[in-house]
Structure 1
Amino acid sequence: MDLFSVAHAMGSAGQGGAGQAAGGGLAAFAPLILMVVIFYFLLIRPQQKRQKEHRNMLANLKKGDVVVTQGGLQGRITGLTDAVVTLEIADKVRVKVQRGYVAALLSRGENKAENGA
């Protein structure tokens, strides 16, 4: 019997405490808001920055640049359109890839004057 009265007393004390904590309002949401802000600065913002850099790299591709695709092919750009990049991956071996699948720029192409010299 004594055990039941103690459990009942603990239960009613917990309800009173919960009623007071629920009245906190904005303070109850502060940890959630803090987590959203932390996720934004640690995950979302760096990803947006990488996407912007990738878009700029794709926009500035030129003939003669050496690039690597997402599939791992490395080649020199021999032709460009708005959507397709033509890569020469070996002598007289050319492949066309979608511009968005160019993963990285390895080196810029040389000037035509340097190629002739």
Structure 2
Amino acid sequence: MNDTLQFIVVNILPLFVIVAVAYFAMIRPQQKRTQKQNEMISQLQKGDRVVTVGGLHGTVRSTDAKTVTLMVGRNQELTFDKLAIRDKRPS
């Protein structure tokens, strides 16, 4: 029995520690960022100023389930997937 306990402590416990550190250092923060991004996208409204993942700045003209139409210049409207919206800027 003593050998089994020693085997677990020496070989398996470090693996669990590495997995736990990786989860709290990499996976969990990414999940929080994704959740925050999804909340921001779901709350987009007409008039919000946004930036796309490509760096294009525009004002939300309209939204539907999967797309958002941005006014990017004088009478220039572009339609993007909602997932292409990176950030919401102060109005």
> Structures share a fold, TM > 0.5?
yes
TM-score, structure 2 as length reference: 0.90
Structure 2 unaligned residues grouped into runs of 5+? none
Which of 42, 50, 53 in structure 2 is aligned with 1:59?
A: 42
Aligned positions, number: 89
Q: For structure 1, which runs of at least 5 residues remain unmatched after alignment? A: 1-20, 109-117
Task: Flag the structure with larger Rg.
Answer: 1
RMSD: 1.7
1:36 & 1:84 partners in 2: Cα distance?
37
Select the structure that is richer in helix: 1
What SS does structure 1 have at the residue aligned with 2:6?
A: coil
Residue 71 of structure 1: CA displacement? Answer: 0.9
- Aligned-residue sequence identity (percent) comes to 31
Asked if 1:37 corresponds to 2:20, the answer is yes
One-letter amino acid of the counterpart of residue 25, structure 1: F
Return the TM-score normalized by structure 1.
0.71
Matches of residues 1-117 of structure 1 in structure 2 within 5 Å? Answer: 24-27=6-9, 28-108=11-91
